Amino acid sequence: MLAALILLGYLAGSIPFGVLVTRWARGVDVRAEGSGNIGATNVARVAGKKAGALVLGLDALKGALPVLLTLQLMPGEPRAHVSVGLAAFLGHCFPVWLKLRGGKGVATALGVLLVLVPWAALAGAAVYGVVVKVARMSSLGSLSAGVAAVVTAAFTAAAPEYAFLSGLLFAFMLWTHRENIGRLLRRTERRF
């Protein structure tokens, strides 16, 4: 059962909503525009705020739904919940449909954490909003949100496994944002 749920989580996570929505809304490949990322930020740059918001919601849902299903089918098994959430996140970052070249995982992590550690997800979303409003840089917002989520999860997680997952997702986000981090350090990061 768990193996099937992990596979389902990965396959759900690997649905490239950013590519699909941008192609549908603007008829272009989001991977060839802006930052080249398939996430909601770049979709908003390329196809407008409504398309970006749609991708944010869909990318979060594809993380949240497999975890919700696992909670229903395997209650009281936090390692199963964490495994499926991680699979969805990795599906987004390494999608089989895009030759394993996917996105940075922020919205999908948000969806997973909303289900497992809601206060951490909400803290991250709030910090993202403030940082983007002030600095106008989505990557800085995402990384700051990750720190806020990890700290909040350490204090509020219902199971230690959920706090561990928050840290693991943040570690992966440091990797997926490695080029953004380089640009932030060189002060050449693109604005939202």
Q: Which residues bind to ligand G3P, rule: CB under 6 A? A: 35, 37, 39, 41-42, 104, 106, 138-139, 142, 180
Cβ atoms within 10 Å, residue 49: 11
Closest approach, Cβ 128 to ligand G3P, in A, equals 9
Nearer residue to ligand G3P within complex by CB, 159 or 184: 184
Rg over alpha carbons for the chain, rounded to the nearest Å, is 16
Q: How far apart are CA 36 and CA 48, in angstroms?
A: 15
Nearer residue to ligand G3P within complex by CB, 18 or 78: 18
Closest approach, Cβ 36 to ligand G3P, in A, equals 8
Closest approach, Cβ 37 to ligand G3P, in A, equals 4
Q: How far apart are CA 7 and CA 91, in angstroms?
A: 9
Nearer residue to ligand G3P within complex by CB, 128 or 162: 128
Q: How far apart are CA 88 and CA 94, in angstroms?
A: 10
Nearer residue to ligand G3P within complex by CB, 31 or 81: 31
Closest approach, Cβ 2 to ligand G3P, in A, equals 29
Q: How far apart are CA 189 and CA 161, in angstroms?
A: 34
Q: 73 burial class (0-12, 13-18, 19+ CB within 10 angstroms)?
A: middle
Nearer residue to ligand G3P within complex by CB, 14 or 138: 138
Closest approach, Cβ 76 to ligand G3P, in A, equals 33
